[in-house]
Structure 1
């Protein structure tokens, strides 16, 4: 089905402007593949929280439906399956809750039972920070900003 950028549809929830063929009432990821050349333009046009709240029945939905999405009232639904949607919305504190104990345990293991000296440990930490920073830069520069040519690439 072909749509024009200004086409509007009416549903039980709201009137939705279909910009570049994306219906904000539906999960976003499955709609990315068919966008074709319009994908790059669409992905660089942010959707305001007010606009998201107007058009999406999922915005501010129950925690049962969209996991932690209720923490971000203007969060649009990304995936069709509930479990995958729940995995895409996590609170900020969950990251340090998982990784700080792991890092502390590995530091204790290196300095204690493995007998790594303080200087060697410090050099390993500095090397890790350098490698991580370089890896992040390369990923952001050459992977995350890559303009995908296929429908599958746009969904990733």
Structure 2
């Protein structure tokens, strides 16, 4: 007797359902539902609240933190040009982290109950409901936890006086990434560069989901060979 395949009930909290999909999870999560109303994650109001974040909370919370860390390097004797280089370096490091996390963590293949559940919370929910405006940016509580290892990484790869500005630059890169990500889904860009970036990202969601991992730019996709082919190139093959 063949076991009946599990079916997710979209009218019930999703998080503790999706793990039951097993091997079918990957196919299910990459079939997007285009709707501005997001699904319910948890039965608990407290945990549900923690999963929902309006986009402007990100700069409101984290830009003062960026300023604080950057000012630490000033107070330790570095000049404005020196701190500027550190901040720019931090932003550059973030772009590589952005690409690496998106490609190797957010798109990891899972099939176990807890693997599917954690993946759904991290990124699967975004691919299933790409227009959910309250789950496009990373919840501040989760970001605060992740800041600890990234701060330790900054201290490991730099000196005590340069680490704060380097970390501040990385955090600024994250803020730029999150607000850009929100804009690419819900904004209506009129200029060519953001319009192309929006098209590039939506291509990742709706056409080739295993390529095009860059959000703020396609730089690392070009470097590591994950740049998706254009439709014109595919037609000429």
Q: Distance in 2 between matches of 1:127 and 1:105?
A: 17
User: Which of 91, 99, 118 in structure 2 is aligned with 1:137?
Assistant: 99
Corresponding residue to 1:27 among 13, 25, 41: 13
Deviations 1:31-82 (A, max 9, x none): 1111011101110111232xxxxxxxxxxxxxxxxxxxxxx6x111012221
Flag structure 1 segments of 5+ consecutive residues without an equivalent.
5-19, 50-71
> Cα RMSD (Å) of the superposition?
1.7
Provide structure 2 residue ranges, at least 5 long, that are not aligned to the other structure: 119-237
Tell which structure's C-alpha radius of gyration is larger.
1
**Kept in 1: contact 2:19–2:115 (CA 8 A):** yes
Check conservation: 2:24, 2:111, Cα contact below 8 A.
no
Aligned residue in 1 for 2:68: 105
Q: Which position in structure 2 is the counterpart of 1:152? A: 114
- The equivalent residue for 1:44 is 30
Between Structure 1 and Structure 2, which shows a larger proportion of helix residues?
Answer: 2
Is residue 93 from structure 1 mapped to residue 56 from structure 2 by the alignment? yes
- Runs of 4 or more, structure 1, over 4 Å off, are none
Q: What is the DSSP-based 3-state SS (H/G/I as helix, E as strand, rest coil) of the residue aligned with 2:109?
A: coil
Distance apart, 1:3 and its partner CA: 4.9
1:43/1:102 Cα in 2 relative to 1: closer, same or farther (>3 Å)? same
- Relative contact order (C-alpha < 8 Å, sep 6+): which is higher? 2
Q: What TM-score comes out, normalization by structure 2 length? A: 0.46
Structure 1 residue 24: deviation in Å? 0.6
2: distance between equivalents of 1:138 and 1:125?
20
Give the number of aligned pairs.
116
TM-score w.r.t. length of structure 1 = 0.68
**Distance in 2 separating the partners of 1:144 and 1:89:** 19
| Structure 1 position 140, deviation (Å) | 0.7
Q: 2 CA distance for matches of 1:140 and 1:81?
A: 28
